[in-house]
Structure 1
């Protein structure tokens, strides 16, 4: 649909104002507790947590760059850095419903096809979940005795979380790599779902499976890229998992780093499979449930808020700045186009 310069300008200004309104609402109502915690945090801890958060975001940029560069060699680490932040921003303001679409749109702007952008998004999720599962297995082996002692039924909970994660990855890979399974999925879905809304969802899932198959086939052909992507996913999680220990060890010098990392690994494993909008709520619940066994409740909540700042709020703020600057540039460009059109009409 071709819009006139004036209509495009009006639409972009309207969207700009909507985005600002959503930012104000989210910061005031959903992220207020994290901002309050930041104001009471000693600056050395805040600086360290900030540095770890930025470092993990750069690693994520490296991961995305290695996947997306298979389609666009000019795709850089900073492009990947902002892709992750852009998706996080829309995940927050849409309460988890718009992050995938936003990320695909971002890749479109970076000259990837729709199917390629969808595939990169899906593959990023799959490799991340595999890395989460690997870390959980490692620390379940290393800290199973302590976990069973400190957290009753902790091993069973972690195994349930790992099983759900494994099932999600297995289903995605099965339907993405096996054409026959994809055909069966579509046939069964069309028999079960009669409403157009559900059929649209099936079509969207089918497109994602197709895109992921194309991406994986391109991805696995380059063994060096496969190693880099999995290694960088593991490295990003290692940085994330070090954050609670960095925070809590200031007040608990006898805290075991291995146990702290194990608990946050189990938290991410379980929090990622609990039904909660945009991943908000599930992780917080599990974090406090596990960490209150080794520190008091106040310190557990305080470290949780700082952890969420590094892994959630910071990418959101980076994405917010990126969106506002990008939208401002678009409005300026369209304003200039509207002025030029008016000038031509007057002449």
Structure 2
């Protein structure tokens, strides 16, 4: 087996293994409280559920606006609702492919909307980076303003995770903008890849990297557009981040909005450095660890389920409906 195949195989094994270990720990952690959590969910107000659904939809609309803003750099027509559908389409395939087909689905969506493959890759990469950046910005803000409310250990862990998230963004940007790295890639391919078939694929990848670098360079030069993207990224993160507070404030009036926002921003940056499909497993464990001391295990778990419905299940449902309708329309044509 080649080294490349070994790496792919190891990656395919490691991520699901970590995922099931974390889910197993999560189930064990809540096993004695499942009946109380179930009863808590049964008592949930229909108005609270509707508010959570509303916030989930508003998030997707803002996501669509952000995607449209990114695509402006290509000067190609793209509507904000299409950006929303791109996000939900990717969310649908995140579930059905266990995280493996998320990026391929999103890039394919953009390609069907007349973007080149490299432009689609650029949009998907920037969407990924913007959410990480927004979460880090909010986490840094709350560390500065609310640091005295948290233990030294928590502050240290959050700082380390913020650094790792920003480092990931930096590496992606460097790879997209660095000509020396691209030259090194070409040199290595020239040395080790001799088959004509694979050489053609390398040439294609090289052309896509060129286009991605050009798109990234154009976007970095358009400061107004870049700040607009970051603005929408922070707005959409806040829409999701306010959900736990909405779910918990009725039973815990002493639970401060800023503490809730700080906790969910910390959870997001911490789960972002743990390699599980879609962050599932790592997010749940982090959420319970951070929220349980403030509101108890049962209320933390019930708010987590509502949060995950808005951020994971709802876009999956919308994306599934879009996929079904699109396929039916294609079959008719």
TM surpasses 0.5: yes
Q: Which residue of 1 aligns with 2:270?
A: 270
Q: Is the 8 A contact 2:118 2:209 kept in 1?
A: no
Residues 243 and 94 of structure 1: CA distance in aligned 2, closer, same or farther (over 3 Å): same
Q: 1:92 aligns with which of 87, 90, 95?
A: 95
Hey, what's the Cα distance between the residues in 2 that align with 1:201 and 1:260? 48
How far residue 214 of structure 1 moved from its aligned partner, in angstroms, is 2.2
Specify every segment of 5 or more residues in structure 2 that has no aligned partner in the other structure, as ranges.
Answer: 1-33
Structure-2 change in CA distance of 1:318 and 1:35 (3 Å): farther
Cα shift at 1:71: 2.5
SS state of the match for residue 97, structure 1?
coil
**What residue number does 1:68 align with?**
71
TM-score (structure 1 length as normaliser): 0.77
2:178 counterpart residue number: 178
Instruction: Give the alignment of 1:116-265 within 5 angstroms.
Output: 116-148=119-151, 153-184=153-184, 187=187, 210-265=210-265
Seen in structure 2, the aligned counterparts of structure 1 residues 202 and 218 have a Cα distance that, compared at 3 Å, is same
Residues 272-331 of structure 1: per-residue CA shift (max 9 Å, x gap): 111212211111110001111111101111111111111111111110100010011112
2:298 is matched with: 298
CA contact (8 A) 1:82 1:322 kept: yes
> How many Å apart are 1:209 and its aligned residue?
5.1
Report the counterpart of residue 55 of structure 2 in structure 1.
52
The CA deviation at 1:191 is: 8.0
- Alignment TM-score, normalising by the size of structure 2: 0.80
- The CA distance in 2 between the partners of 1:188 and 1:161, in whole Å, is 33
Please state if 1:111 is matched with 2:144: no
Is the 1:72–1:112 Cα contact (8 Å) retained in structure 2?
no
Q: 2:40, 2:299 within 8 Å by CA — same for their partners in 1?
A: no
Is contact 2:117–2:208 with CA below 8 Å preserved after alignment? no
Change (3 A) 1:274 1:201: farther
1:193, distance to aligned residue in structure 2 (A): 11
Q: Is the 8 Å Cα contact of residues 135 and 268 (structure 2) preserved in structure 1?
A: yes
Paired residues of 1:87 and 1:103 also in contact (CA < 8 A): yes
Q: Which runs of 5+ in 1 are unaligned?
A: 1-32, 334-347
Write the distance in 1 (CA, Å) between the matches of 2:241 and 2:88.
19
CA distance in 2, matches of 1:115, 1:266: 33
Report runs of 4+ in structure 1 exceeding 4 Å deviation: 33-40, 185-194, 199-211
2:136–2:162 contact (8 Å) kept in structure 1 = yes
How far the C-alpha of 1:226 sits from its partner, in A, is 1.3
Give yes or no for contact 2:165–2:269 (8 Å, CA) kept in 1.
yes
CA–CA separation in structure 2 for the residues paired with 1:296 and 1:281: 19
RMSD: 3.0
Seen in structure 2, the aligned counterparts of structure 1 residues 330 and 252 have a Cα distance that, compared at 3 Å, is same
**What's the secondary structure of 2:293's corresponding residue?**
coil
Identify if the C-alpha distance between structure 1 residues 161 and 295 changes in structure 2 by more than 3 Å, giving closer, same or farther. same
* Bigger Rg, structure 1 or 2: 1
